[in-house]
Amino acid sequence: MDVTGQNAEIVSARDLGVVACTRCTQVWPAGTQTCGRCGRAIIARDDKSLQRVWAWWLVGLMCYIPANIYPMLRTRTLFRVQEDTIIGGAVELLHHGAAGVAIIVLVASVVIPLGKFMAIAFLAISVTRPSSVSNHHRQMLYEVVEYIGRWSMIDIFVVAIMSSLVQLNTLAAINPGRASLFFALSVIFTMLSAQAFDSRMIWDVHAKREGAPDNE
């Protein structure tokens, strides 16, 4: 495995007796309390990071449930009011033959959020117990999660744009459903969750694992 090949070159900042400011990235000697440049408190490891991760993650998940139960979009035409949930809307799109759009919706609204939940949970778990996935991969996963998180808002954008554009009074109107709020909250909370994750811990685990055989 390439993991073993890379391991040898990795040296953590802690090993070198330095600590970096998380805001301005200025490196200070270990034990420095506040960043001399930006004034931020310097913490080598955020011991409450995981708590925050899990807390946000939980709220995000809690919001994700109503986001899927309640209708995302409320389409009112002359005689008819249609309310579609995320999955229902995608299925309907599929029925209408718009498979591509359906897939985009499904990926953006279901696959990515769910993947994010799983990824964050995996990362949070992996820092506390041994994992078979290499630190590099996990770091990459974390970066992808953090990067892609904001794109989950695409659904909300679509709903927002549609609701503002399609307002033809009595003829037709599209309004955001209750799910849109929950979905947005869910995305926000998962982003917060991802941000709360202190990625340095990935490497601590590595160090622990590396160090464990040393100790024994």
Partner 1 sequence: MSETPTPVAIETARKPFFARASFVWLIPILALVIALGVAWQAYIERGPLIEIEFDNGAGIAERETELRYRDITVGVVEEVKFASDLSAVVVHVRVDKDVAPFVDAESTFWVVRPELTTRGVSGLDTVLTGVYIEGSWDGDIGEEQTRFTGLNETPLLRNGKKGLEIALRTTPGGSLTDDSPITFRGIEVGRVGKARISEQGNFAIAKAIIYEPHNRLVSPTTRFWDTSGFTFSVGPSGAEIDFSSLATLVGGGLTFDTFVSGGGGVSTGTVFQVYADESEARNSLFSASDVETFEMRVVFDENISGLALGAAVKLSGLTIGEVKSVSGIIDEEAFGDSRVRLNAVLALQPARIGLQDEVTPEAALQFMVQQVEDGLRARLASAGLLTGGLRVELVQVDDAPKVIVETGEGIIPIVPTTESEISDVAATVEGVVARVNNLPIEELLDSAIGFLESANAFISDEDLRETPQDVRALLGDVRGFVASDNLQSVPGKLNTALGHFESLMAQLEEQELATRLTAAVDAAAAAADGVTTSVEGVPALVEQLQAVAAKAETLPLKDLTTQLTDLTASADKILNTDAARKLPDDLGTALNEINATLAELREGGSVDNINATLDSTRKAADAVAASTQELPALAERMRAVLDQASTMIAGYDKGDMLSRDARKALRDISKAADSLDSLARMLERNPSALIRGR
Binding footprint of partner 1 on the chain (CB under 8 A): 14, 47-48, 51-52, 55-56, 58-59, 62-63, 66, 78-81, 196, 211, 215
Cβ proximity to partner 1: between 4 and 80 the closer is 80
Helix (H) / strand (E) element for 140: namely helix 135-149
Smallest distance from partner 1 to CB 59, Å: 5
CA distance 22 to 192: 16
Looking at this protein, which amino acid is placed at residue 114? L
Helix (H) / strand (E) element for 174: namely strand 173-176
Smallest distance from partner 1 to CB 137, Å: 25
Q: What are phi and psi of 184, to 5 degrees?
A: -60, -45
Cβ proximity to partner 1: between 108 and 127 the closer is 127
DSSP-based three-state secondary structure for 176: strand
Cβ proximity to partner 1: between 169 and 215 the closer is 215
> In the numeric block, which tokens belong to residue 10?
């990795």
Smallest distance from partner 1 to CB 56, Å: 7
DSSP classification of residue 188 = H
Cβ proximity to partner 1: between 160 and 204 the closer is 204
CA distance 157 to 35: 38
Smallest distance from partner 1 to CB 182, Å: 10
Smallest distance from partner 1 to CB 66, Å: 8
Cβ proximity to partner 1: between 14 and 137 the closer is 14
